[in-house]
Amino acid sequence: MREIRSAAMVVNAKSRKGQKLFKRACAAMQGLPYEVDARAVDDPKKLESTVRDVLAAKPDLLILGGGDGTISGLVDLMVGHDVILGVLPLGTANSFSRTLGIPLTIEGAVEVIRAGHTRRIDLGMIDGDYFANCAAMGISPQIAETVPHGLKKVLGMVGYLGWASYQFAKFRPFILHVDDGTTKRKMRVVEVRISNGPYHGGTWLVDEASVNSGEIVVQAVRGHYKRGLVKNWALSFFGHEARHHDTISFSGKEVHIDTEPRLPISIDGEVLAKTPITARIAAGVIEVMAPPEA
């Protein structure tokens, strides 16, 4: 177990809820055997510069508080630094925390940090960008890319769901080209998941994916009709074995992917790439505080 002498915490606190969670996190960390340089960032555009500033002080531990998009967007900055990652799950899905077995409460996550057990894990890569958990092609990036700015803030979840329904009505299955180095396939699909872990959107979807497998997994949901995607989502939500009937997975150190037509790719919830891409694994590239593996 590595000794921690210095630590910092950066929390995405763009909402009133985020500010409250930041205060709870600070309170929960009372009694740790080291001081924590705690920073709440209410402007997401300043998260990267704040993390760079914190890393310049060379802490032993950097705790990131936010959802999967926040963690994935900042983890790039930690690669190459001799710093341990701590995770506070403050998002909606918290898929990365679920994969690592980190409790989804602030107090529970802080207890994992207090225990001090670390694991070296893989990160996924889309071309040159690292990501923590899962990327996707299909309806989710289509919604994320087109949703009017401020819609959810003005009209709430009802407005967002209305927009999602509108986009789903327009959505069409697409052609996937995949090459994992040993197999080349072309197929019609309704969704593609590029996974470093089994959870996507808070639901266990990709059995083969693991943060210490040394391989990236590409899972395609095959189908000519989008109702097949709804069926797969429903079966996956309830953990039914039949969810695998329409999926096929490819894995390797590197997988090349293209689509017809060219499509946006959401990486842990943020649209950051477009096909064609190469998905890779960065094996054991980062150390994270997490419970021991079962």
Q: How confident is the model at residue 85 (pLDDT cuts 50, 70, 90)?
A: very high
99 and 180 both lie in a single domain? no
For residue 97, the domain's CATH number is 3.40.50.10330
- From 290, 289, 291, 288, select the one nearest 123 (Cα to Cα): 288
Q: Cα dihedral angle (198, 201, 275, 120), rounded to 10 degrees?
A: -40
pLDDT in tens, 185-218: 999 999 999 999 999 888 898 999 999 999 999 9
pLDDT in tens, 106-153: 999 999 999 999 999 999 999 989 999 999 998 887 777 766 766 555
| 22 inside domain | yes
Query: 45: domain range?
Result: 7-121
Q: Using the predicted structure, report yes or no on whether residue 1 has a pLDDT greater than 90.
A: no
By the 8 A CB rule, do 195 and 132 touch?
A: no
271 and 157 both lie in a single domain? yes
39 and 168 both lie in a single domain? no
What pTM does this model have?
0.87
Per the structure, the count of domains in the chain is 2
What pLDDT is recorded for position 83?
Answer: 95
68 and 140 both lie in a single domain? no
272 and 140 both lie in a single domain? yes
Q: Using the predicted structure, report yes or no on whether residue 184 has a pLDDT greater than 90.
A: yes
By the 8 A CB rule, do 209 and 194 touch?
A: no
56 and 170 both lie in a single domain? no
AA letter at 185:
R
pLDDT in tens, 11-58: 998 765 778 888 999 999 888 889 999 999 988 889 999 999 999 999
Three-state SS for 256? strand
